Amino acid sequence: MTELSSQKVENSNNQDLDDDDDEFNSSNKITPNDHQSISDCSNSSSISATKDDFNVENLIQSDLCAFVHTLTPKDYPQLIQCHLKRHKDGLNKSFSLYFTGQDPDDEPLLLTARKHTTLSGHTEFLIGINIDTPAKNLNEENSIAKLRSTKIFGHEYILYDYDKPSTNEPNKPQSLAVVYDEHIFESKDPREITVLLHNTGDTIREFQNNETIIDEWRAGRSNSLLEFKNKYPKFNEESKIYTIGFLNNRVKQPSHKNFQIISSNEQGKEIVILQFGRIDENDFVLDFRYPFTTIDAFAIALSSFHNRIRK
């Protein structure tokens, strides 16, 4: 059960539980390998050639709104590479997502997000696309989506689609959910992540009485949901650290935020469909492919910017 009230707490004196405290979570850091492990890389020979009509740069320039809602083609052989930047202004946190193309000095802005806390204590990330509207001004009226924690202590998140018409205003269409395991306090094990996504061939349905797709999944009524897990990192007995081989060596620094979401191709081989990781204090890479849209990938990444209280 969850409510959709999004009243903002202004000038709160409470400590924000947003940030990834990597010192506090030092035992849970995931260190990127210097090289790619074979099991971490997709087999390009099993994926057909790039679709002729899917040119990322052209789509962004011609219709950005359409692009961020467009599903990455299943036969697109590459990861769409993006750069996520976090902005801090006191207790205010906002985020920007840029496309990383051929020119490193020309990264078009794709999406922005603003994090705030409701009066009921739930964390929300309002997601917008209008570059004329700064992230700090995002609200329920000018946002295209909202990621919301279903619990005050933040282990589960729902992505609500604000850009699709809804006849039931309190229950906007739910397109995605992210569920983190509830860690035991002082546990040194890496976190486990489950991503629930509506089957791309099905129409996103509206839920009644504040029910969520997580409720549907837990009740075993999830025939229309696709379920993905994060790749569990390898533990190095010699160095006593967890490691993952990130594709293209894009992730540069150890962090408990670093993760990959995996699936299997038609031959049963493991492939990485999303990877997220730290470059420096406020810069991260976000790379993704089918079956995610840009908004889906951004929401999954945003969920990692909310500390989860451990039991």
Of 81 and 236, which is predicted with more confidence?
81
User: pLDDT tens digit string along 261-277?
Assistant: 999 887 888 999 999 99
For the ranges 16-30, 79-93, 154-168, 219-233, which has the lowest average pLDDT?
Answer: 16-30
| Predicted confidence (pLDDT) at residue 47 exceeds the cutoff of 50 | no
pLDDT of residue 17: 38
Domain spans, the chain: 49-304
For the ranges 31-40, 139-148, 174-183, 278-287, which has the lowest average pLDDT?
Answer: 31-40
Apex 73 CA angle, 72 and 77, nearest 5:
95
Helix (H) or strand (E) run with residue 112 in it? strand 109-117
The correct CATH number of 49-304 out of 3.50.50.60, 3.40.50.300, 3.20.90.10, 2.40.160.20 is: 3.20.90.10
| Predicted confidence (pLDDT) at residue 10 exceeds the cutoff of 50 | no
3-state secondary structure at position 94: strand
**What would the mean pLDDT of 216-229 be, rounded to a whole number?**
86
Q: What is the DSSP letter of 105?
A: T
pLDDT of residue 14: 37
On whether the CB atoms of residues 277 and 250 are closer than 8 A, the answer is yes
Task: Give percent above pLDDT 90 in the chain.
Answer: 37
pLDDT of residue 256: 87
On whether the CB atoms of residues 294 and 96 are closer than 8 A, the answer is no
Label the pairing between strands 92-99 and 80-89.
antiparallel
Greatest mean pLDDT among 14-23, 43-52, 65-74, 201-210 lies in: 65-74
Q: What are phi and psi of 238, to 5 degrees?
A: -75, -50
pLDDT of residue 143: 85
Show the DSSP H helices in the chain as ranges: 56-62, 64-69, 213-218, 294-302
Apex 252 CA angle, 255 and 302, nearest 5:
50
| Predicted confidence (pLDDT) at residue 7 exceeds the cutoff of 60 | no
> Could you tell me the pLDDT band of residue 303, with boundaries at 50, 70 and 90?
very high
Of 284 and 155, which is predicted with more confidence?
284
Q: Name the pTM for this structure.
A: 0.83
| Predicted confidence (pLDDT) at residue 1 exceeds the cutoff of 70 | no
pLDDT of residue 19: 44
**What would the mean pLDDT of 209-234 be, rounded to a whole number?**
86
User: pLDDT tens digit string along 118-142?
Assistant: 877 788 999 998 666 677 778 788 8
Tell me how far apart the alpha carbons of residues 7 and 303 are, in angstroms, rounded to a whole number. 19
Show Cβ contacts of residue 244 under 8 Å, excluding neighbours closer than 6 positions: 30, 31, 32, 33, 40, 231, 233, 234, 251, 258, 259, 260
**What would the mean pLDDT of 35-49 be, rounded to a whole number?**
34
Tell me how far apart the alpha carbons of residues 17 and 165 are, in angstroms, rounded to a whole number. 33
> Could you tell me the pLDDT band of residue 150, with boundaries at 50, 70 and 90?
confident
pLDDT of residue 239: 85
How far, rounded to the nearest angstrom, does the alpha carbon of residue 157 sit from its chain's CA centroid? 10
Show Cβ contacts of residue 61 under 8 Å, excluding neighbours closer than 6 positions: 108
pLDDT of residue 206: 65
Average per-residue pLDDT in the chain?
Answer: 78
pLDDT of residue 267: 82
pLDDT of residue 159: 94
Helix (H) or strand (E) run with residue 160 in it? strand 156-161
pLDDT of residue 210: 73
Of 234 and 101, which is predicted with more confidence?
234
